[in-house]
Amino acid sequence: MELSVYNIAGQETGRKVALNEAIFGVEPNEHAIYLDVKQYLANQRQGTHKSKERGEISGSTAKLKKQKGTGTARSGSIKSPVFRGGGRVFGPRPRNYGFKLNKKLKQLARKSALAIKASNNKISIVEDFNLEAPKTKQIVEIFNNMKVEERRVLIVLNEANENVVLSSRNLKNVDVVEVKDLSTYAIMKASSVMFFETSVQGLDEMFKLN
């Protein structure tokens, strides 16, 4: 599969970039995508939730009332979970929600996500550009020229480009990543993926296809 390279004015440059069939031509594995996205979201969780159990509640340990003769249930501590202000039964404790995935499965997930975007014509190639200064207005103009202004856009850079990052961070529907940090979640979240021309070559290095 070959895609035309566009300039920031939205015009074809006459160059084409061949998408590696080993990446964009694989049979998508939806379960691999699900697992990789699930792991990404699990790793975002802080896991710092905590509630006090009866052993951690401050309060008197004196028996509340006599054992028999009251006509009500027996009770031995104000910290009991059945009383207001008592400890919680089996409450949440700090934990790590992360889990491990095989490297090959994660690679398959990213390839599958890219293959889905390619098959749906959601990938575009723009020639490498740099902005003289961070200006959100210029990025918006580029998106308008590329006709992706109404969609969630993922810009994939080959290397760090501070001005592009700073110009895009105020746009809620735009994410910017370097190709080495490309994740399945970011690809699937985007409705349109815009690769810098050199970042397509960086995919081969990321997947070690060279």
The pLDDT value recorded for residue 130 is 86
Residue 40 shares a structural domain with residue 108: yes
Structural domain includes residue 113: yes
Structural domain includes residue 111: yes
Residue 60 shares a structural domain with residue 141: no
Structural domain includes residue 7: yes
β-bridge pairing 174-178 and 123-126: unpaired
Query: Mean pLDDT over residues 29-36, rounded?
Result: 97
**Conformational region of residue 44, where left means phi above 0, alpha means psi within -120 to 50, and beta covers everything else:** alpha
Residue 35 shares a structural domain with residue 79: no
Residue 117 shares a structural domain with residue 149: yes
Query: Mean pLDDT over residues 29-54, rounded?
Result: 96
Kindly report, residue by residue over 173-189, the tens digit of the pLDDT: 899 999 999 999 999 99
Residue 115 shares a structural domain with residue 193: yes
How many domains are there within the chain? 2
Residue 133 shares a structural domain with residue 184: yes
Q: What is the mean pLDDT of the chain?
A: 90
Residue 166 shares a structural domain with residue 63: no
The pLDDT value recorded for residue 206 is 85
Residue 42 shares a structural domain with residue 68: no
The pLDDT value recorded for residue 160 is 86
Instruction: Categorize the per-residue pLDDT at 148 as very low, low, confident or very high, splitting at 50, 70 and 90.
Output: confident
- Taking the C-alpha atoms of residue 209 and residue 193, their distance in angstroms, rounded to an integer, is 21
Residue 12 shares a structural domain with residue 82: no
The pLDDT value recorded for residue 177 is 93
Residue 64 shares a structural domain with residue 143: no
Structural domain includes residue 121: yes
The larger pLDDT score, comparing residue 39 to residue 145, is at: 39
Residue 85 shares a structural domain with residue 56: yes
Of 119, 150, 89, 95, the C-alpha closest to 28 is 119
Kindly report, residue by residue over 72-120, the tens digit of the pLDDT: 999 989 999 999 999 999 999 999 999 999 999 999 999 999 999 999 9
- Can you give the residue range of the structural domain that contains 71? 52-91
Structural domain includes residue 96: no
Residue 17 shares a structural domain with residue 87: no
CATH code: domain of residue 133: 3.40.1370.10
Residue 97 structure tokens: 């929600």
Q: In this predicted structure, which of 116-125, 188-197, 198-207 has the lowest mean pLDDT?
A: 198-207
Residue 210 has pLDDT above 60, yes or no: no
The pLDDT value recorded for residue 149 is 61
Residue 60 structure tokens: 């008197």
β-bridge pairing 174-178 and 192-196: unpaired
